[in-house]
Chain A
């Protein structure tokens, strides 16, 4: 590959010729695109276009039939979800995947599990090391609570929160582990305009203040245009557009995918 070394410093994620099918039904075919470090990239496309499947491939929930994913210059044909988490890929789900009976702060703390260094006995007898680790973890949880303005819900079981707040908690749970790449599956689905505005602000802040690269799926084109510098359009598992929001908006293929063509 030419120019691989120059690409490395700017590109955090590369998807090369990925294909995925479910029992013969093609979900994604021969898809390639790359994400630059520090950008907010949107995946858009009609329902069933393969957007969520793609995110699932990126963090190892699904394994592609062909192709590879390059993350931080490391090539993966298939990656285990644990390995993805360890390498700094954070993820939220379309239908919230929170731990419903745990409180908000406990949900956030679970996101720190991969940093746990104390063993069973230390935690069982609350030995000093375990105690200190708990302090460090809780301090981080507090800072995330503050960042996402969730402090007043600290001890509420997440099952009792509104949908919009749950989305925010899930973002926090991914964020607390300081991911380098954050995959957000419809972070604003089912929200009203005000909540969307709020969520957009949080995502923009995370991107700007923490330098986290974000790949998100979103249907609200207004939000996408405002928030993202890069848009990839999928339709029936194929890439039909890739570029800045303005470029994509005028792309005839994209318009066809969304509005249908005149026959």
Chain B
């Protein structure tokens, strides 16, 4: 890349440029080492299967939606629809093209979802905000309908479900919880790295520029419509992969109803609670959403000793969730991640106050 390909002002004065220095992110590395090395050894099958795998997949789905909503400012309630596209596409690819290795089928499944996302993103050049959200709602219902209406998508199974194919990676069987956990973790780690690169790149800055003020973005030369569609596409790619993982690495057997509007809302809540426009926020939000129910039922058991039945506890959970979402929207629109950062800042100057 030379300067001569385009005209930029000659640097006014060649001051020593100090670019962003990269310190080794030790806390992150330790976390990854624990996730890859320690958890598979210590985690029970129940923990891996019922808590960690769904947590990871929901984080990935949140990440996908966050790229669109938190970074580009386009609200979507069609996340689960794109997840369904990824799941059904991957299923059909593995079924009908058996030579495809699992990672390739997964990526192609993501690309199918991306293509659908691009199409759903077309109206974003004309309509904004609330009205755009309604088009994603339409997409959600349309996609859900397609995958239950046409038996071809679920290979004419009488149950209307798709089941995990033989999960094999380069000859290794992935049908144990540990293997499935490690595979999911690897996919999520890789895609998170890519997302971090993207949001720090010029493309990510363009997305955020559109989020903060789209008229100004156009005036300074950012093709707004194209970048909105691109955000829809990339977001849907992530959601598609998350959908396939959800179907085959967590549920095992899925149907269109696994990807209903409630799932879309769940993912939206993850990014609201975790933090819009934050990568770490997706993981925090997903942890919150998947751990809070367990915590609540545990607390119910301990405190009330079974005096309240499980049905009541589930209702209680919904009330607590609803209250928390309202609280977050009012008090901390930047989510849990902002609370944690504030806490860290306070601790760093402790015992002084500010």
Contacts and interface: CB of A to CB of B under 8 A. Distances in A.
Interface string A104-146: 0010011111111110100111100110111111111011101
A178 interface: yes
B213 to A, nearest CB: 5
Contacts of B277: 101
Interface in A59-114: 59, 61, 81-82, 84-86, 90-91, 93, 97-102, 106, 109-114
Contacts of B218: 81-82, 85
Contacts of B12: 143-144, 146-147, 209
Nearest to A116: B202
Contact of A173 (B9, B206, B212, B220): B220
Most buried by B among A110, A134, A135, A177: A110
Interface residues of B, number: 39
B223 interface: yes
A210 interface: yes
Interface in B1-33: 1, 3, 5-9, 11-15, 17, 19
Interface residues of A, number: 56
Interface in B99-145: none
A174 interface: yes
A142 B208 CA distance: 21
A143 B208 contact: no
Residues of A contacting B: mostly: helix
B197 A110 contact: no
Interface string B196-218: 01100111011011011101111
Given A61-B215, A98-B213, A113 B11 contact: no
17 contacts: A61-B215, A84-B219, A85-B221, A97-B219, A98-B212, A99-B208, A112-B202, A114-B222, A115-B6, A124-B194, A124-B197, A133-B202, A134-B201, A134-B202, A139-B17, A142-B15, A143-B14
Closest 7 CB pairs of A and B: A85-B221, A97-B216, A114-B221, A99-B212, A123-B201, A143-B11, A178-B9
Interface of A: 59, 61, 81-82, 84-86, 90-91, 93, 97-102, 106, 109-118, 120, 123-126, 129-130, 132-140, 142-144, 146-147, 173-178, 209-210
Given A113-B220, A118-B202, A146-B12, 6 more contacts: A82-B223, A98-B212, A100-B213, A120-B234, A143-B9, A144-B9
